[in-house]
Structure 1
């Protein structure tokens, strides 16, 4: 899985740090949920339009007509021409034999070595001019077949001429889905009228947010799409203690892996940060929970 730079969301004076991690490789909604739970906290919960508008979701990866030949191990373009190669920062691995362009912050574009079996967007090449950007996610070989059948192959170009890769408005999986007749987040919490969901189709149960317009929409849950995970610096202690005992407990904790990490009681502002914390507390096993903050 490949992911973009984290977008941090925290209010002035708040000590709750809540990060969003955008994964640019495609996955079904269920697999995206599983990945986020394993590597972060969960698929993203976005509480309102105001919060959504603070997120930078434009990065993407797209297949191009560059791959490594099995016999010679040489990197070649599918049109047979020598367009040159300028790699991004990513170090090559044995299973990374296909080329993709990465669109990042401030219109930055670089070419990366990728596992050919990942699902990415892709660009084709026309006979005349232009490189149609295909907002479907496929493996490299599937993308090559698509472009060969519908256009003139995968996009091949001189690496200094990458400006045709521009901003794209594409869907991204988030944690909202239809469950038991109502719209719920992956955290198993019901959406509480912060979003206008009247336009969402009841025929499909999984929800995306668009990368530029930040609009919610439903999509087939089996569709391969990039997704957004969430991670915070909060730890729940599932023990009943007095406030004084909790304070001492938190201050006395140490990280087993990093000596520079210390803990303290959590302080949080009103608003969606408070809602986020209370949502996590409600999932705890005991009636009273001590919340910790990493500092």
Structure 2
């Protein structure tokens, strides 16, 4: 979604979850495999620790002190974590989201952190580094058609473009859709499939938290790999290896506040319901820029199950008074 496509006027229908107490970290000096450590943390505390910022890393350093050992954290590799950008309820029938039409030998970049899929006139897909610029294919849900955009962009920018002007990057649910897309592309073009190779045990996505602290020069192997930390950097290790570990306990006291948000959009084709996760991410980034990085946002559904309600301009002006 283009940053200029929506404008936040005031808050509406949004949960703001703000911890009154910071997360507690607990160092456990027992050597276990990553899976055993995860089980222990979930049974005894909340989960293995998630490190989202330099502040989180500084707290871990304080807990470790002069200890030179490595400690498991909650980050683990998932080399087959392919998913579609469009995650609309009811869009995929059973098994359709699992369709894979890789070219021979593909995917062949297993150890890249963030990979995306492209298609070509041969009807087959390949994986590539998402920062590379390619043309791409958008999907328009209202007209059930595909739009080939020849302007080259990286995958993330292409995703924002498709979400702002249409519905999303194209998904492929069956062979007929795959053929329809291959007939409109000239060469390699991004589609909506992507893979994030590293995930946190508590479900947070590494790419969305944006912070990382990898040790330079180490061999990147994602399959069956988990991550340790020292007081200086993160290391990739086999999950079966045994290390002490760091657990976290979520704060028991949470302050919840409901605030209003009125969103104005520049394009009538933008579906706010479909793009609500992207809007939430944009709001989170805006709050982080203003020093509110600890705030967690969540949409509050209305009685009809929807998040957004259309309001006339005169009603909006009354709400702003």
Give the number of the structure whose residues are more often helix, by fraction: 2
- More RCO (CA 8 Å, sep 6+): 2
Per the TM superposition, whether the score is higher than 0.5 is: no
TM-score (norm 1): 0.38
